[in-house]
Amino acid sequence: EDNKVYRASTFAPVNIAVIKYWGKRDTKLNLPTNSSLSVTLSQDDLRTHTTASCSASFASDTLTLNGQPQDISTPRTQACLRELRSLRKDLESKNSSLSQLSSLQLKIVSENNFPTAAGLASSAAGFAALVRSIANLYALPASPTELSRIARQGSGSACRSLFGGYVGWNHGSAADGSDSIAYEVAPADHWSDMRAVILVASAEKKDVSSTAGMQATVGTSALFKARAETIVPQRMEEMEEAIRKKDFAAFASLTMRDSNSFHATCLDTDPPIFYMNDTSRAAVRVCQAINETAGRTVCAYTFDAGPNAVVYYLAADEAAVAGTFRGILGEKTGWEGSRGEKVEKAGQVP
């Protein structure tokens, strides 16, 4: 009947890059200057849940996040909706028995189970869930690769959340972005004892958005060129090999050095951008101490566009890594109260 509500839901997990995306060659299509690689967290931990519905009874497209109405008119969100509607329209034109969902208004309802825009990759899970929920609603025969191309236009890093496990994002070279897509480096069960703990140094909204920060870095940093042209391409190869061989020491060394390299280009931006704070630097030192005490590399820190640390480790080293952080940071200021929560989530990586 006329006012029927069509509905589909999905979860999308957060992904945390170990080789960082930082810099756009095309700001409209979110085309990156360099490739990147991430680990997708288990969706039991940090994730967005999204329900997309459409109905002739809806007056306009709407989007809410954690119960708050969001601006759906932003060019990035519009690009995703446009692409998905046009794929549905193609289906409808080929099969006249399909309902004309592409002409109905959409209602998108999302819930994050973690702080939004605190450098916890909220936009990645958010756009991945938005794109997949609508693709499900429209019954699109689209592969994760195809959906990654669409989600990338919402938020670059979102393209990597369409896959589980170990995921690359090829920078691509086509001007229309058709080859700037995510790909599976290895499924989660290839290296299933990988774990991550997130140290929430501040749950506040970050002060320089990743888009503004990237543009400033691309425009002013002298270090940036070397990073994009030589450092990252080399590390992408080494990281894929470390993952293939399940070589944690190599994985960890590349992860920590690449995080430091990314934050160095932020510091090299004019005016400088500081995402890491004193609490972040304390976490770096604790990781170093844990590795020294163990006599081998058992943990790897990485920081996105915010002060929170993500620390990767293997399940066998749970006590040495997550246990140490829980034990000592619970006692220190900077990890509790107004400046943030204590150590957590201890996340299994699928």
Give contact residues for ligand PMV (rule: CB under 6 A).
17, 20-22, 36, 121, 123-124, 155-157, 210-211, 304-305
Nearer to ligand PMV, 107 or 235 (CB): 235
CB of 196 to ligand PMV, least distance (A): 14
CB of 262 to ligand PMV, least distance (A): 7
Contact residues for 96 (Cβ-Cβ < 8 A; gap 6+): none
Q: What is the rounded CA–CA span in Å between residue 258 and residue 261? A: 5
Tell me if 128 sits within 8 A of 12, measured CB to CB: yes
Nearer to ligand PMV, 211 or 220 (CB): 211
CB of 329 to ligand PMV, least distance (A): 23
CB of 296 to ligand PMV, least distance (A): 27
Tell me if 29 sits within 8 A of 177, measured CB to CB: yes
The residue type found at 67 is G
Nearer to ligand PMV, 107 or 227 (CB): 227
CB of 123 to ligand PMV, least distance (A): 4
Instruction: Give yes or no for a cis peptide into 144 (omega within 30° of 0).
Output: no
The CA radius of gyration of the chain, in Å to the nearest whole number, is 20
Task: Tell me which residue has tokens 């090299």.
Answer: 268
Q: What is the rounded CA–CA span in Å between residue 71 and residue 53? A: 17
Nearer to ligand PMV, 20 or 107 (CB): 20
Nearer to ligand PMV, 137 or 151 (CB): 151
